[in-house]
């Protein structure tokens, strides 16, 4: 769930791809490394910023930058997406590669995972081929210690020919030393002598031949040995990047023979990594992964895997709903108490009635409703979800669900982008970059809206609590509500699969591409940080956005409700216009209008419905959920209405921010339109069918 | 000897095998190489996902899930 001030909403649109190159005395430091090795955690610790971290591959898909000072210099740190190698496969790997190769950083820190050093060394060696200004950071030293893995850092440094620092990015151990090493490397105080990977004589021959030719064009601007290697590799995007950033016009004739050379090159690197690792890593306990395996035996087992997943989701919703009841009431009491005081104030100062209407009944009341209903569930749900993410559960979800996605001709990592959508669909859409194949990425983008984001959760929670579960009492009520929401989510997943399948059989025809998903070791979540971060970054931020949209919307609705044309308010006119269509879908004109007006932000759909009802007649004091229930019933809501509103909430047009993000990510209005139409069509169909069947059977 | 060589997806859970050949090409081959799958790499089959596919393998200290389509393009020898 990648949701920060930067990655959500409008901020998400401002891609941070083009790094502002520094003025003369700043030093740019690139943070590279395999996925999930703690790059963002190092970044946060050094800069004091809050890039989101999570225990899964591909958490960061855009670059972020921040500053830190060390001694007399200012360093600009660039957090790159994780990559296994520099031979690009997907968009985010290309970003990382281009930055290291062409961004000309003063130093590159390669963050590696101490518990999986051998694989990580692959990338280290590849980076050493490009630049000698490298510091290797062996992170997760605490996890290694826990698993009784010892690493001889001095020996490693000797073998690699660059400084090596062991760190625990969470606690900050070793970061001082890391900054020192970066300082010295960038200032040329330590001269590094990176290992040179020797290829077999045949490869070397060809390599040197090409290198000679390259040197003529590229001068010293780029490591010509490296460029030659990449040319042999035949990777077109690398060639494009070389030409683009260095203003060259290179082209290669690809030989059949090169295909073999390429394997040769990779093998040499992998073998060197293997040999280095065997000299510096001591594993005392061969069974150090035993616990992880046992947990996985349950969480991904044939029998319990999927039920456990659904049960976990249900429990999270139950805790959220049960836990949110008390603070919700308390907050509502306080906020509506303030409303009374405000009203008194208006009477004392004899302010005009319309002003009271606009400000208090229109704006303030909507705000109070949004805050008291949305704040508590978000403050509980986000930390719980982040907990699972930090633990490393999300990749297991993708593992469990992959086969379904394969059958839908989609990518297994779509499950991960779905999980990000829980936070914010715009963030989910950006997260789709972890999917390499353009076809499958598009599918993931178009169907992302089928998972309800935090803007829609409160609506679902409120309706299921007061309506579906409303008649039962006490404890049972929250269980039924949680169950309802779980069903809604499962339905959303099924719709995602169905829509993906339909898309890949029609406009996005194709076969599933390759899939390789890393299942990282479980790591102990940082409880304290989770709570603080989810409250500040997510809850407050989302609430802020809701409040910003809700206030003007409240005003707008109040004005519409109080402007009369021929004795009927503007609001009623519009609702009346939508009524016939809405009726077919088992809703009413006000509801449909609320969804349309909710385009800027889905958070305000429920408040708009309530405001229109209140404005349209009975001015209810809405100080608890019971009153809300009565209000809805007095406007003709039945359980069918509630079901339809929940269905439509799950499936309608994405909010404006998401749409703009889709446009940005796909660079196409056509696919943006498709993303608009697909969930909308699904929602209209679903509500229509449900309504007609229920009515036909005479159930309401 | 040849008879011992099977594709990785045929390896039962809990068994280890040594990579003999990669039959994939292009991007997929590259992905596999990036993960450290070269000739001679030892791979352990760990578990299947609830619906039987993909399968999780331990490759050079990391756990990687591969679909049967990918695994069938890696020829291995049981050890
Ligand atoms: N125990 C421990 N956990 C760490 C350490 N560093 C990072 N983590 C955790 O490891 C996980 C991954 O960290 P991130 O910083 O998101 O990793 P990343 O390299 O940015 O990952 P991508 O963006 O996917 O490439 C998070 O859950 C962190 O809390 C460490 O030194 N010790
Ligand atoms: Mg990251």
pLDDT over 70 (residue A256): no
Which residues have a Cβ under 8 Å from the Cβ of A440 and sit 6 or more positions away? A410, A411, A414, A510, A512, A513
A143: domain CATH number? 3.40.50.300
B1–chain A nearest CA distance, Å: 24
A374 domain residue, yes or no: yes
Q: A610, A576, A437, A580: which is closest to A510 by C-alpha? A: A437
Same domain, A180 and A212: no
Domain C-terminal end among A186, A219, A238: A186
Q: A623, A647, A59: which is closest to A339 by C-alpha? A: A623
The tally of domains found in chain A comes to: 3
pLDDT value at residue A4: 38
Q: How confident is the model at residue A619 (pLDDT cuts 50, 70, 90)?
A: very low
Tell the residue nearest (CA) to atom 9 of ligand 1: A38
A291 domain residue, yes or no: no
Section A55-68 average pLDDT: 76
Same domain, A181 and A208: no
Which range of A201-215, A566-580, A664-678 scores highest in mean pLDDT? It is A664-678
A4 domain residue, yes or no: no
* Residue contact A119–B60, C-beta within 8 A: yes
C-alpha of residue A431 to centroid of ligand 1, in Å: 17
Give the CA count within 13 Å in the CB-facing half-sphere of A451: 24
C-alpha of residue A63 to centroid of ligand 2, in Å: 9
pLDDT value at residue A539: 74
Tell the residue nearest (CA) to atom 30 of ligand 1: A140
pLDDT value at residue A258: 65
A138–chain B nearest CA distance, Å: 15
Which tops the pLDDT comparison, B19 or A327?
Answer: B19
A87 CB within 6 A, ligand 1: no
A276 domain residue, yes or no: no
Least CB–CB distance from A519: residue in B27, B35, B63: B63
Section A129-143 average pLDDT: 92
B4 touches chain A (CB under 8 A): no
* Residue contact A515–B63, C-beta within 8 A: no
A125–chain B nearest CA distance, Å: 12
A172 domain residue, yes or no: yes
* Residue contact B49–A403, C-beta within 8 A: yes
Same domain, A524 and A654: yes
Which tops the pLDDT comparison, A263 or A592?
Answer: A592
Q: Cα separations (Å) of B25 from A238, B8, B29?
A: 18, 16, 5
Domain C-terminal end among A137, A161, A186: A186
Same domain, A322 and A408: yes
Q: Which of A138-147, A236-245, A488-497 has the lowest mean pLDDT?
A: A236-245
Same domain, A246 and A384: no
Section A563-592 average pLDDT: 90
Same domain, A242 and A314: no
Same domain, A668 and A578: yes
Q: What are the structure tokens assigned to A35, written together?
A: 């996925």
**Matching residue, tokens 């769930």:** A1
Q: What is the best residue among A31, A40, A141 to mutate for testing ligand 1's pocket, by most ligand atoms within 8 Å of CB?
A: A40
- Mutating which of B25, B26, B34 best tests the A interface, going by the most A Cβ atoms within 10 A? B34
Instruction: Determine the Cα–Cα distance for residues A398 and A416; give it in Å rounded to an integer.
Output: 6
CB pairs under 8 A between A and B: 120
Instruction: Determine the Cα–Cα distance for residues A619 and A441; give it in Å rounded to an integer.
Output: 48
Same domain, A107 and A144: yes
Percent share of chain A, pLDDT over 90: 36
Which residues have a Cβ under 8 Å from the Cβ of A475 and sit 6 or more positions away? none
Q: What are the structure tokens assigned to A323, written together?
A: 């836990």
Q: A100, A84, A83, A101: which is closest to A92 by C-alpha? A: A83
Which tops the pLDDT comparison, A561 or A15?
Answer: A561
Task: Establish whether this prediction's ipTM goes over 0.90.
Answer: yes
C-alpha of residue A42 to centroid of ligand 1, in Å: 8
Same domain, A206 and A142: no
**Nearest ligand 1 atom, CA A43:** 15
> Exposure pattern of A122-146 as b/e (b: 16+ CB <10 Å)?
bbbbbbbbbbbbbbbbbbbbbbbee
Q: A513, A329, A561: which is closest to A406 by C-alpha? A: A513
Specify whether the CB–CB gap between B38 and B20 falls below 8 A.
no
Average pLDDT, chain A: 84
pLDDT value at residue A283: 86
Q: How confident is the model at residue A559 (pLDDT cuts 50, 70, 90)?
A: confident
Instruction: Determine the Cα–Cα distance for residues A397 and A346; give it in Å rounded to an integer.
Output: 54
Domain that holds residue A373: 305-696
* Residue contact A516–B32, C-beta within 8 A: yes
CATH of domain B5-78: 2.30.30.90
A60 CB within 6 A, ligand 1: yes
Q: How confident is the model at residue A239 (pLDDT cuts 50, 70, 90)?
A: confident
Q: Which of A15-24, A133-142, A320-329, B36-45 has the lowest mean pLDDT?
A: A15-24
* Residue contact B60–A116, C-beta within 8 A: yes
Cis peptide leading into B54, omega within 30 of 0? yes
A593–chain B nearest CA distance, Å: 43
Residue A140 backbone zone (phi > 0: left; psi -120 to 50: alpha; other: beta): left
* Residue contact B27–A403, C-beta within 8 A: no
**Nearest ligand 1 atom, CA A111:** 19
| Chain A contact residues (CB < 8 Å to B) | 84-85, 87, 89, 115-119, 122, 259, 263, 266-267, 270-271, 273-274, 293, 296-297, 300-303, 305-306, 399-400, 402-404, 406, 412, 436, 512, 514-521
B15–chain A nearest CA distance, Å: 15
pLDDT value at residue A193: 86
Q: How confident is the model at residue A325 (pLDDT cuts 50, 70, 90)?
A: confident
DSSP state of A57: T
* Residue contact B32–A87, C-beta within 8 A: no
**Matching residue, tokens 């082209």:** A251
Same domain, A237 and A332: no
A112 CB within 6 A, ligand 1: no
Section A472-479 average pLDDT: 74
Specify whether the CB–CB gap between A678 and A504 falls below 8 A.
no
Cis peptide leading into A690, omega within 30 of 0? no
Same domain, A181 and A205: no
Residue A470 — φ and ψ, nearest 5°? -50, -40
A364 domain residue, yes or no: yes
A232 domain residue, yes or no: yes
Specify whether the CB–CB gap between A415 and A496 falls below 8 A.
no
**Nearest ligand 1 atom, CA A58:** 24
Strand, coil or helix: what is A121?
A: helix
Residue A150 backbone zone (phi > 0: left; psi -120 to 50: alpha; other: beta): beta
A640 domain residue, yes or no: yes
pLDDT value at residue A475: 73
Tell the residue nearest (CA) to atom 23 of ligand 1: A60
Give the CA count within 13 Å in the CB-facing half-sphere of A425: 32
Contacting residues of B for A512, CB less than 8 Å apart: 67, 69
A-contacting residues in B 20-79 (Cβ below 8 Å): 22, 25, 27-36, 38-39, 41, 46-54, 56, 59-67, 69-70
**Matching residue, tokens 């990580």:** A120
- Mutating which of A35, A270, A292, A410 best tests the B interface, going by the most B Cβ atoms within 10 A? A270
A37 CB within 6 A, ligand 1: yes
pLDDT < 50: residue spans in chain B: 1
pLDDT over 90 (residue A250): no
- Mutating which of A403, A404, A405, A520 best tests the B interface, going by the most B Cβ atoms within 10 A? A403
Instruction: Determine the Cα–Cα distance for residues A325 and A379; give it in Å rounded to an integer.
Output: 12
Which range of A217-231, A546-560, A613-627, B45-59 scores highest in mean pLDDT? It is B45-59
Same domain, A406 and A362: yes
Contacting residues of B for A297, CB less than 8 Å apart: 47
Alpha helices in B1-79 (DSSP H): 26-34, 68-71
Which tops the pLDDT comparison, A113 or A323?
Answer: A113
Contacting residues of B for A518, CB less than 8 Å apart: 62-65
Size of chain B in residues: 79
Run of H or E including A64: strand A64-70
Specify whether the CB–CB gap between A574 and A584 falls below 8 A.
no
Section A543-569 average pLDDT: 80
Per-residue pLDDT tens over the stretch A191-211: 888 888 888 888 888 888 888
Tell the residue nearest (CA) to atom 21 of ligand 1: A36
**Nearest ligand 1 atom, CA A36:** 21
Domain C-terminal end among A158, A186, A214: A186
**Nearest ligand 1 atom, CA A139:** 31
Q: What is the best residue among A2, A35, A37, A38 to mutate for testing ligand 1's pocket, by most ligand atoms within 8 Å of CB?
A: A38
C-alpha of residue A321 to centroid of ligand 2, in Å: 31
Q: What are the structure tokens assigned to A109, written together?
A: 């820190």
The angle, 0 to 180 degrees and rounded to 10, between the axes of the packed helices A365-391 and A605-615 is 160
Contacting residues of A for B66, CB less than 8 Å apart: 515-516
């Amino acid at each position: 769930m990648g949701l920060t001030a930067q990655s959500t909403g409008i901020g998400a649109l401002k891609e941070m791809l083009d790094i502002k190159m520094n003025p003369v005395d700043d030093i740019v430091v690139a943070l590279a490394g395999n996925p999930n090795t703690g790059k963002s955690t190092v970044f946060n610790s050094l800069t004091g910023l809050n890039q989101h971290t999570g225990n899964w591959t591909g958490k960061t898909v855009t670059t972020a930058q921040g500053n830190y000072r060390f001694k007399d210099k200012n360093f600009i740190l660039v957090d790159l997406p994780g990559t296994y190698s520099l031979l690009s496969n997907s968009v985010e790997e290309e970003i990382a590669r281009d930055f290291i190769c062409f961004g000309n950083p003063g130093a590159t820190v390669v963050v590696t995972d101490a518990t999986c050093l051998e694989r990580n060394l692959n990338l280290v060696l590849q980076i050493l081929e490009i630049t000698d200004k490298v510091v290797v950071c062996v992170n997760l030293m605490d996890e290694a210690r826990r698993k009784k893995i010892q690493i001889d850092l001095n020996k490693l440094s000797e073998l690699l020919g660059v400084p090596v620092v062991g760190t625990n990015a969470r606690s900050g151990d070793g970061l001082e030393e890391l900054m020192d090493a970066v300082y010295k490397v960038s200032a040329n105080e330590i001269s590094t002598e990176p290992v040179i990977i020797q290829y077999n004589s045949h490869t070397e021959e060809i390599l040197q031949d090409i290198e000679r030719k390259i040197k003529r064009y590229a001068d010293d601007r780029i490591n010509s040995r490296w460029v030659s290697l990449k040319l042999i590799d035949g990777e077109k995007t690398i060639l494009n990047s070389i030409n683009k950033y260095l203003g060259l016009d290179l082209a290669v004739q690809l030989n059949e023979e090169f295909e073999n050379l390429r394997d040769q090159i990779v093998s040499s690197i992998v073998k060197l990594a293997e040999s280095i690792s065997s000299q510096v890593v001591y594993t005392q306990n061969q069974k150090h992964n035993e616990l992880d395996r046992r947990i996985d035996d349950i969480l991904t087992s044939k029998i319990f895997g999927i039920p456990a997943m659904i049960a976990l989701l249900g429990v999270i919703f139950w805790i959220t709903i049960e836990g949110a009841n008390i603070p919700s009431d308390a907050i509502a009491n306080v906020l509506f108490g303030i409303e009374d005081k405000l009203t008194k104030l208006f009477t004392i100062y004899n302010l005009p009635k319309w002003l009271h209407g606009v400000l208090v009944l229109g704006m303030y009341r909507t705000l109070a409703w949004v805050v008291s209903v949305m704040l508590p569930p978000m403050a509980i749900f986000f930390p719980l979800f982040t907990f699972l993410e930090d633990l490393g559960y999300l990749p297991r979800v993708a593992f469990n669900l992959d086969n379904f996605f394969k059958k839908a001709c989609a990518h297994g990592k779509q499950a991960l982008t779905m999980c990000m959508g829980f936070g914010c669909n715009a963030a989910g859409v950006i997260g789709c970059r972890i999917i390499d194949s353009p076809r499958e990425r598009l599918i993931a983008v178009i169907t992302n809206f089928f998972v309800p984001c935090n803007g829609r959760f409160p609506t679902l929670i409120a309706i299921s609590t007061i309506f579906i579960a409303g008649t039962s009492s006490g404890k049972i009520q929250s269980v039924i509500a949680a169950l309802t929401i779980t069903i809604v989510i499962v339905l959303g997943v099924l719709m995602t699969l169905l829509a993906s399948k339909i898309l890949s059989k029609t406009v996005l025809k194709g076969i599933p591409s390759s899939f390789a998903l890393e299942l990282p070791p479980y790591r102990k979540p940082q409880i304290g940080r989770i709570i603080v971060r989810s409250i500040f970054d997510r809850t407050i931020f989302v609430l802020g956005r809701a409040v910003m949209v809700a206030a003007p919307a409240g005003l707008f609705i109040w004005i519409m409700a109080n402007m009369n044309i021929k004795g009927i308010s503007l609001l009623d006119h519009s609702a009346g216009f939508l009524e016939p269509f809405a009726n077919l879908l088992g809703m009413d004109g006000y509801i449909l209008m609320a969804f349309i007006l909710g385009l800027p932000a889905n958070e305000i759909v429920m408040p708009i419905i309530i405001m229109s009802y209140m404005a349209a007649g009975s001015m209810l004091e809405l100080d608890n959920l019971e009153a809300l229930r009565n209000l809805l019933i007095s406007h003709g809501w039945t359980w069918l209405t509630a079901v339809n509103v929940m269905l439509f909430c799950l499936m309608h047009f994405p909010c404006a921010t998401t749409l703009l993000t889709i446009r940005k990510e796909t660079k196409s209005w056509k696919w943006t339109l498709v993303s608009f139409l697909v969930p909308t069509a699904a929602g209209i169909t679903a509500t229509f069918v449900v309504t007609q069947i229920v009515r036909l059977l005479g159930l309401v | 000897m040849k008879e011992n060589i099977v594709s990785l997806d045929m390896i039962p859970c809990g068994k280890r095998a040594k990579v003999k050949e990669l039959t994939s090409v292009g991007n997929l081959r590259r992905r596999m190489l990036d993960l450290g799958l070269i000739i001679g790499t030892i791979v352990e089959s760990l578990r299947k996902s609830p619906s039987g596919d993909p399968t999780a393998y331990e490759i050079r200290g990391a756990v990687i899930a591969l679909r049967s389509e990918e695994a069938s393009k890696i020829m291995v020898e049981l050890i």
